[in-house]
Amino acid sequence: MPKGKSLKLHKEFGLNPTISQCILCGEDKNELVLLGAAYKEQAPMRMITTVEPCDACRKTYLSRGVMLVEAEVNDKGQRIPTGPVMVLKDAAFKRIFSVPLPEGRIAFASKKVFRLLQKEVPNDKS
């Protein structure tokens, strides 16, 4: 937590903890996340709390490609993931977007771009 910041407790659920899950495989990441009042309801026992994948998925998928996350930008300029995720091989990402690979190998795309990609990119399991 940033210096000088504190967690606002949920009125009913206090720290309101949850176990973070990987955005790609859904497995537990062995991270306990304290949501407090930031989550309006009681937090589920497990949930995806970040776009950062687990170490195993980072090694397996992001060593060869870029994870693309569908997201919208809210009125504060923050990217909010909205659901679908895909991993594009490095060569495909460069060819489609004509930009260098993103730092951290995670990129965001609008719903419109994501839908176009889902139509155009074959499902390659290799």
Q: What are the φ/ψ torsions at residue 7 (nearest 5 degrees)? A: -85, 125
- Predicted confidence at residue 3, as pLDDT, reads 63
Tell me how far CA of residue 65 lies from CA of 58, 59, 89, 96, in angstroms.
10, 10, 4, 13
Q: What percent of the chain has pLDDT over 90?
A: 83
What pLDDT, on a 0 to 100 scale, did the predictor assign at position 121?
Answer: 60
Amino acid 118: pLDDT: 82
- How far apart are the C-alpha atoms of 32 and 53, rounded to whole Å? 15
Average pLDDT of span 36-64: 95
pLDDT (tens digit, 9 = 90+) per residue, 108-119?
Answer: 999 999 889 888
Tens of pLDDT, residues 56-88? 999 999 999 999 999 999 999 999 999 899 999
Q: Domain ranges in the chain?
A: 17-47, 61-120
At residue 109, the 3 state secondary structure works out as strand
CA 57/CA 12 separation, integer angstroms: 35
**pLDDT value of position 5:** 77
DSSP assignment of 36-85: GGGSSSPPPSEE---SPPPHHHHHHTTTTEEEEEEEEE-TTS-EEEEEEE
For residue 103, give the DSSP letter.
G
pTM (global) more than 0.85:
no
pLDDT score at 54: 96
